[in-house]
Amino acid sequence: MQMNNLDTLPKKKILSLFMTCGFPTLSQSKKIFNEMLSHQPDVIEFGLPFSDPMADGPIIQEANKLALSSNLSTQQSLNLIKELSKSKNNTSFVIMCYLNTVRKFGVDKFIKSIKNIVDGIIIVDLPFEEESEIKKSLSKNNIHLIKLISPMTDKKRAQKLLKGSKGFIYYISATGITGSNKLDYKEINKNVKSLKKMSKIPVLVGFGIKSKKDVLEISKKTNADGVIIGSALIQKYFDLKMDINKYLIDLRKFITEVKV
Amino acid sequence: MKTYKQPSTVGRFGEFGGMYVSETLMPLLLNLDKSYKKIQKDKKFKKELNDLFKNYVGRPSSLHYAKNLSKYINGPKVYFKRDELNHTGAHKINNCLGQILLAKKMGKTRIIAETGAGQHGVATATVCALFGLPCYIYMGSKDIERQKPNVFRMKLLGATIIPVESGSKSLKDAMNEALRDWIKNVRDTFYIIGSTAGPHPYPKMVRDFQSVIGKEAREQILKVEKKLPDYLIACVGGGSNAMGLFYPFLNDKKVKIIGVEAAGRGAKTEETAATMTSGTPGILHGSYSYVLQDNDGQIKEAHSISAGLDYPGVGPEHSHLKDIKRVKYFGVTDKEALEAFQTCSKLEGIIPALEPSHALAYLMKAFKNKHKNKVVILNMCGRGDKDLFTAAKAIGFDADE
């Protein structure tokens, strides 16, 4: 079995970049991911577009809608990820998706398609209570099921969720949907510290991280091992009036900046 | 058949239901489930709710023998369970009262809800006014356009309406936005879901609060007919009025039960809301149930003339009842529902909402010259005032004149 890149994440200052597959179009999406890959971030999260992304904010929903407007299929997204994996090197590939996408594709077929390509998967709406079956097949294929922990998750529940978990812990920094609310560093630090006592794997903070400043503050003011940036990357595309060439230049600048 | 006992402790109706939500919501739902279990045993809560049912809603709603319609159909004796006579004009208030009492008990200070036809929005705004809680209603902009009277009602009641512009701009998207609001404001907010849809414990909770309809109907029919009905008929969107009527009869094997879905322009067309006729099992809004979806699991947009039935999903309990064949589900088109809407108005002096007009249409079609000497209870779950403009437009009557 191949090595899982998530098992060799650096100890500190981990950078994970999220981007919706097929956004804004399939061919432009490839350019965007190639740009991201050229920076060799520690993790790239591939969002599989879903018509009803209820745990995501309006920016990612809009990205999903754009991607789906050209009838992008799950298979096309998976093909794209496979193609990109040829130049993944040490970058961990993680898929972020909703359960209906996996179920409809076929759980076994899905796992088979991403085996040896993808290191981890976040199924946003698959709670701990429902995960056992999928988790087993994933683990057989050396794909880590990444756990989300929210500020609402109490200690007892977090312990249950994190038992035997691998890869990293995705800590949702704001009690909010992706790309909203302000960051409360004190609360983040308190919760991250508590999580680090429960598990040895890195804790990444996501949701609401928008700038180099946010990245530095997280690193300075909290005990987190890294950050996840998603909505902010996508927002730029809309800010630049959907000009893909300008966007690619801006993306390069932004990633260079946040890669501290 | 074994005694019907659903859902399981984790919210499963057979294989359907469950809690498919992100970890931001999970602790809340588990907490809600716990609180709900607790108040179910609370006598004071029950008494408070029953008082409100009686004195605020006007329960029990009557069971009306629709003589003229029965004669017209030339089939069974048709009774209307008249939940359209409730305060606010539909069955939705039953559930809202139950949930707001629970919200109060849980110490929540802000209420959110989604609405399609506006009936649930009006009912939620009403109970919020009664209990003095701020109320935010998510409503698709398409529905705001076609349900103007209800929008005004909600505003009068002090609610803030938040138009939803995403997706199909109707009920499904309103629910997405309301769920987002809840995730963002988890600490102080209670989400009053209006249908037997969504993650556990909502489908169970809404059914329980609505089952007052069936309990009353059972007593009332036994009194007048000295027997149980042969048929129950109700319309199904998400399915709350239907579950409310059906649930207390599920163990009465001899009672045949029919759910009527909105087939829009036809169940086989792309413009339909007949989830159980045209859909397949999938996950929407945190629950596993029949949904309208494509081969990749992308949820399709539904279509129905009735905003209350314009939903691409259906409650998990209905999905289960379909699969165990306890309830049969049929589709009725916009056109058929509109005809029934007019016929009922003329024959019974009752202007039904477009939602129960679907149930009426099925009854008029399938029971015509048949099932004589049988007794049918149809759930008249809402009145048609809110639909006057939509219906006038569809029929070709200039309501502005």
Q: What is the pLDDT of residues A137-155, one digit of tens each?
A: 999 999 999 999 998 899 9
> Which residues are registered as beta bridge partners of A171?
A149, A205
Q: Which residues of A229-246 are buried (b: 16+ CB within 10 A; e: fewer)?
A: bbbbbbbebeebeeebee
Q: Which long-range contacts does A201-204 make (Cβ < 8 Å, 24+ apart)? A: A201/A165, A201/A166, A201/A167, A201/A168, A201/A169, A202/A9, A202/A11, A202/A14, A202/A168, A202/A169, A202/A226, A203/A168, A203/A169, A203/A171, A204/A14, A204/A16, A204/A43, A204/A168, A204/A169, A204/A170, A204/A171, A204/A228
pLDDT digits (tens, 9 = 90+) for A169-206: 999 986 555 544 577 888 899 999 999 999 999 999 99
Instruction: For residue B24, give the chain A residue with the closest CA.
Output: A150
Compute the distance between CA of residue B229 and CA of residue B225 in angstroms, rounded to an integer.
8
Quote the pLDDT of residue A1.
64
Whether residue A257 lies in the annotated active site: no
Q: Do A61 and B183 touch (CB under 8 A)?
A: no
Report how many domains make up chain A: 1
The candidate with the shortest Cα–Cα distance to B117, out of B395, B352, B398, is: B352
The contacts of residue B397 (CB under 8 Å, 6+ apart) are: none
Q: Contacts of residue B296 in chain A, CB cutoff 8 Å?
A: 73-74, 101, 104-105
What's the one-letter identity of residue A135?
Answer: K
Active-site residue, from A7, A35, A42, A45: A45
pTM: 0.95
Contacts of residue A175 in chain B, CB cutoff 8 Å?
A: 24, 183-184, 186-187
Give the closest residue to B244 by CA, choosing from B210, B203, B220.
B210
The predicted pLDDT at position B117 comes to: 80
Bridge-based pairing state of the strands B16-17 and A92-97:
unpaired
CB spacing of B285 vs A98 below 8 angstroms: no
Digit-coded pLDDT (tens) for A82-125: 999 999 999 999 999 999 999 999 999 999 999 999 999 999 99
ipTM value, please give it. 0.93
Instruction: Name residues of chain B where pLDDT drops below 50.
Output: none
Q: Which of A7, A35, A52, A56 is catalytic?
A: A56
Any catalytic annotation for residue A7? Answer: no
Cβ contact B166–A58 (<8 Å): yes
Contact A53, A23 (CB under 8 A): no
Using alpha carbons, select from A113, A91, A92, A93 the residue that is nearest to residue A101: A113
Dihedral, CA of residue A186, residue A189, residue A191 and residue A194, to nearest 10: -140
Cβ contacts of B180 on chain A, cutoff 8 Å: 54, 57, 177
- Give alpha helix (H) positions in B9-118: 26-40, 43-52, 67-73, 92-105
CA gap B59, B52 in Å, rounded:
9
Residue A179 sits at φ, ψ, to 5 deg, of 80, 25
* Residues of chain A in Cβ contact (below 8 Å) with chain B: 50-52, 54-55, 57-58, 61, 65, 68, 73-74, 98-101, 103-105, 124-130, 147-150, 152-154, 157, 161, 172, 175-177, 180-181
| Chain B residues within 8 Å of chain A (Cβ atoms) | 10, 18-28, 166-167, 172, 176, 179-180, 183-184, 186-187, 282-286, 293, 295-299
CATH (domain of A103): 3.20.20.70
Q: Residue A147: CB partners within 8 Å, gap ≥ 6?
A: A128, A161, A162, A165, A169, A170, B23
Name the residue in chain B with its Cα closest to that of A147: B23
Contacts of A140 (CB under 8 A, 6+ apart): none
Asked if B179 and B25 touch (Cβ cutoff 8 Å), the reply is: yes
State the best of B283, B285, B291 to mutate against chain A, taking most chain A CBs within 10 Å: B283
Selecting from B22, B297, B299 the residue whose C-beta is nearest the C-beta of A55 gives: B22
Structural domain including A167 reads 5-258
CB within 8 Å of B101: residues ≥ 6 apart = B39, B45, B48, B49, B52
Residues in chain B within 8 Å Cβ distance of A124? 22
Burial B69-87, CB ≥16 within 10 A → b, else e: bbebbebbbbbbbbbbbbb
The distance of B384 to chain A (nearest Cα, Å) reads 31
Which residues make beta-bridge pairs with B140?
Answer: B164
Mean pLDDT over the full length of chain B: 95
Q: pLDDT tens across B85-100, in order?
A: 999 999 999 999 999 9
Q: What is the pLDDT of residue A175?
A: 59
**Radius of gyration of the CA atoms of chain A, in A:** 17
Residues 6+ away with beta carbon under 8 Å from B165: B141
Query: Under a CB-based contact definition with an 8 Å cutoff, are residues B147 and B355 in contact?
Result: no
Sheet with A144-145: list strands edge to edge. Answer: A144-145, A120-123, A92-97, A43-47, A14-20, A226-229, A203-206, A169-172, A147-149
- Judged by CB atoms closer than 8 Å, whether chains meet at B24 and A127 is answered as no
B76 to each of B100, B344, B381, how far by Cα in Å?
39, 16, 20
Determine what percent of chain B is predicted with pLDDT higher than 90: 87
* H or E segment and range at residue A19: strand A14-20
For A61, counting Cβ atoms within 10 Å of its Cβ (0-12 exposed, 13-18 middle, 19+ buried), the class is buried
CA-nearest residue to A97 within chain B is: B22
pLDDT score, position B1: 54
pLDDT at A174: 67
The pLDDT value recorded for residue B183 is: 84
Q: Looking at CA atoms only, how far is residue A76 from chain B in angstroms?
A: 11
The one-letter code for the residue type at B334 is: D
CB pair distance less than 8 Å for A128 and B284: no
SS3 B177: helix
Over residues A10-29, mean pLDDT? 96
Assess contact for B311 and B302: CB atoms under 8 A.
yes
* Contact assessment for residue A91 and residue A44, using Cβ atoms and an 8 Å cutoff: yes
User: Which chain B residues are closer than 8 Å to A153 by Cβ?
Assistant: 23, 26-27
State how far the Cα of B309 lies from the Cα of B304, in Å rounded to an integer. 6
Q: Tell me: the pLDDT tens digits for A213-254?
A: 999 999 999 999 999 999 999 999 999 999 999 999 999 999
- Please compute the mean of the pLDDT values over residues A153-165 and round it to a whole number: 95
Report the residue of chain A nearest B164, measured CA to CA: A58
Smallest Cβ–Cβ distance between B27 and the set A54, A58, A153 belongs to A153
